[in-house]
Amino acid sequence: MTDKTLTMTFDGGEQTYPLLSGSVGPDVVDIRKLYPDTGMFTYDPGFTSTASCQSAITFIDGEKGILLHRGYPIDQLAEQSSFMEVAYLLLHGELPKKNELDTFTYTISRHTMLHEQLSTFYRGFRRDAHPMAVMCGVVGALSAFYHDSTDITDPLQRMIASHRLIAKMPTIAAMAYKYTIGQPFVYPQNSLSYTGNFLRMTFGVPAEPYEVNSVVERAMRRIFILHADHEQNASTSTVRLAGSSGANPFACIAAGIACLWGPAHGGANEAALNMLREIGRPERIPEYIARAKDKDDPFRLMGFGHRVYKNYDPRAKVMQQTAQEVLDELGISDPVLDTARELEQIALKDDYFVEKKLYPNVDFYSGVILNAIGFPTEMFTALFALARTVGWVAQWNEMISDPEQKIGRPRQLYVGAKRRDFVPVDKR
Ligand code: CMC
């Protein structure tokens, strides 16, 4: 709380509300008493001006293009830390000491296998099912298998559920992929890193040893870290809203996966690569730029623009550099990367994009990397879900242990019919 206030005047009165200050970032007006004081609600579709909670996990300054996890800049984490360190940091608030990291890594590795019966669950899906459809179903179904970690009032059960979700997500995603291509599921190998294990479960086969390529492993680690958390985005808010009713964590994360699937959110990486492929060659870029600017055309440059970033997304910078590294290592010359770079250059100089502060976001280059590694486009959003699970469980745990937590229940501006009497069908 600060001693600053905001006074609102309206027909019939004036009310003063306190301003709350965070450790960094804009103050927020505490309008919790607005309705009892005035009988009015606020109206903010899309929550463009609304802080829905307080959080100590992630800070974004969209104007300056800054992203911090527990205070640490994302580029430092992407460059210097392991995914397990970032997961620990997000969950517990501090970077782990060596022994804490070892224990955490060991604990996560002990939860990588799925209940064997879940593999029969997969067989209920069509082979051409989208991996996100499978992920929604299988993750939601975890609540039917792990009853000993669904009591959300018990902090120990909450932490076990969190470990299970982080540990099992790579197995679930890899199995979704294996199922669509008709290959046998590959069991986890706990001596490998989190990312190495995931690559082996995805691209390995039981008939041969699988060697993890260190450049690819590093690229995957960076991609996972860059996607681990992003403050109160749509899917995280969905997880929090679902969790606010007391729903179990597996159900809440399934809700987050459903929200992430949309093309305006996690589905943008798939859409961005499809768009780059459709553009095909740099000469066609002006045509697509013109379409993106045309008010009568619903087309948007996928991988461009962000609700919060009005500057270069700091994650996109790391992605761009990683894309080049992976292509060099794998000896791939992909015209899609050239198209992406050229498109970025043209858009960044175009008045429309400059005025609206539209810059490449995390999804603009990630598709190029994932494609080079060998993931089909349908898997891209599943990888996003895998990595974001860490942020979702951290945010969910924070919410459940917040003494101010209440069931999320927004109000509305009602614009429908006023009270009227029922008319029997023969009189309508
Ligand atoms: N291409 C062309 N015009 C755009 C784009 C774009 N990618 N993004 C925004 N605009 C325009 C939009 O038409 C609007 O113009 P006007 O003011 O004239 O009506 C203005 O910019 C503001 O757009 P908005 O839709 O009101 O902004 P928003 O904050 O609601 O939307 C967004 C943010 C990310 C949904 C949007 O920029 C978008 O659809 N981008 C493409 C999809 C994408 O890349 N999504 C990934 C986001 S990052 C990963 C994640 O968080 O999941």
Name the residue at shortest CA distance from atom 28 of ligand 1. Answer: 307
Catalytic residue among 3, 363, 402, 426: 363
The Cβ of residue 196 has, within 10 Å, a number of other Cβ atoms equal to: 20
Contacts of residue 301, defined as CB under 8 A and 6 or more positions apart, other chains included, come to 275, 288, 289, 292, 343, 347, 358
Task: List all residues 6 or more positions away from 155 whose beta carbon is below 8 Å from its beta carbon.
Answer: 401
Kindly report the average pLDDT of the chain as a whole number: 94
- Catalytic, out of 130, 306, 350, 421: 306
Question: Which residues have any ligand 1 atom within 6 Å of their CB?
Answer: 233, 264-266, 268, 292, 300-307, 356, 358, 361-363
First to last CA, the chain: 57
pLDDT in tens, 90-147: 999 999 999 999 999 999 999 999 999 999 999 999 999 999 999 999 999 999 999 9
Q: Tell me how far the alpha carbon of residue 158 is from its chain's centroid.
A: 20
Selected residue with higher pLDDT from 200 and 324 = 200
Nearest CA owner, ligand 1 atom 10: 305
For residue 393, how far is its CA from the centre of ligand 1 (angstroms)? 27
Per-residue burial over 402-422, b if 16 or more Cβ lie within 10 Å, else e, is eeeeeebeeeeeeeeeeeeee
Residue 377 confidence (pLDDT)? 92
Catalytic: 61?
A: no
The predicted pLDDT at position 300 comes to: 93
- 227 in active site: no
pLDDT tens across 297-329, in order? 999 999 999 989 999 899 998 898 888 888 888
381 within 8 A of 38, measured Cβ to Cβ: no
- Angle at which helix 335-349 crosses helix 363-373, to 10 degrees, equals 170
Its pTM surpasses 0.75:
yes
Element of type H or E holding 343: helix 335-349
